[in-house]
Structure 1
Amino acid sequence: MSSEKVLEKLWPYLQLFEPKLWLEINTKFLAPEKSISSLILPPRKILSATLPTRTTPIPSIPSNIITNEYALELSSWIDRKETTYTENNPYESKLLVRGSRDGFDVKTIYNICDKVSNTIIVAKVEDTGEIIGGYNPLEIHNSETKWYSSQDSFVFSLKTENLKNSIISRVTIFNYAICYYTNKLWLQFGGALTLGGNLKTEKKSNCQMYAYEKSIRSNLNGFSVEEFEVFKVSPKK
């Protein structure tokens, strides 16, 4: 290394050299044949391997009916997004009611979810495998028979083997968005989704089109369900 290179490359880092080593570097210019007694480390090896990207697993929704992909789609509808979320769901879902665990009577929903808002009901229809449900932003009341107004509620049918694309139907007649009919054990999203009686043993539930954009089922007859669940949906902290 020439004296010019020493001045250019080493002098700026003078404070990093041990005094003895720096003295021997300068001595080398005066007596090139003189040996160096300072410890010289081998060249540093450069790591060429690429470290794996750290990924954060997507929390699994606590459901026996819907998957994380369905949950992302529902969250997109709540936020009125034109494209579906594909990761980082902004909402977390807390299971409140499961038919096979808590009972299939509609009154179970009223008893457990009293004063709870922002709920999603999902149900798997008996025999057909359809997955239908509704989003209710309002508080549920277990002792009233009354229509409530909402501009944000919607009903849906999720994509399955027999349904090419998911269907969402938003409320259009706001004053008839949600009805709590507790003395006769009905829960209604307009006429678009009516849940009645024992959801498993009776066929009182049905899907029409009143107060919402479109019907979510082609079959307008009453149906029963294999399973249903109710979730409280909250923004992630």
Structure 2
Amino acid sequence: MSGDERYYNGFNRIQGFLTRSMVCVPLRTRRGFLGVLYALNKQQGDFRERDRRLLEILSDTIAVSLENARLYGDLKDHVHALQRERQSLLAKVESGSGFNGIIGSGLPMRRMFELMSKVMDTTAAVLIQGETGTGKELVARVIHYHGVLREKPFVAENCGALPENLLESELFAHVKGASTGAVADKKGLFEIADGGTIFLDEIGEMAPAM
């Protein structure tokens, strides 16, 4: 073995091991090459074709397991990053989007602040009225992120910006093949916001059927 230029004898030097025979197969998945699986020194005789085929069968399972472990690690890192980002955004909202984040000191604004304070500690449905651009979603976010549902999702949708068929799918979900373009199952916003807050803007612009 030591005379074969393809053989790396570093293992022998480090472990004080003598490699007499070896069989190796690649570890591959659909994502690419992961490494090499090899066996050293058969107890009796040399490695044969049957041993190579057996190692190839084992390599498929091992490669998939390694790939899954790596993907799981990447997923955990991504989840932790999202959690840190969520906590950071939540802290920013809580520190900067309180009543001080809404400009106004007149009597109508003070009345609105009083109403907001009353509903923050409840899970009641709230109707926020106002012209476009007056900050209805900002009010909804302040109520959510300072209320009892602050740890739950906040989801917003402009109902007036979507046609009826798309709005129905967006709100109530669809399954794969339910309509043209439904290439996969899709959760609706009511399901995504379950336990939290869903803010529906421009509900007066929705089609009567909706």
More helix by share: 2
TM-score bracket for this pair, using the shorter chain length? under 0.3
TM-score by length of 1: 0.19
TM-score by length of 2: 0.20
More strand by share: 1
Identify the structure with bigger relative contact order (alpha carbons < 8 Å, sequence gap 6+): 1
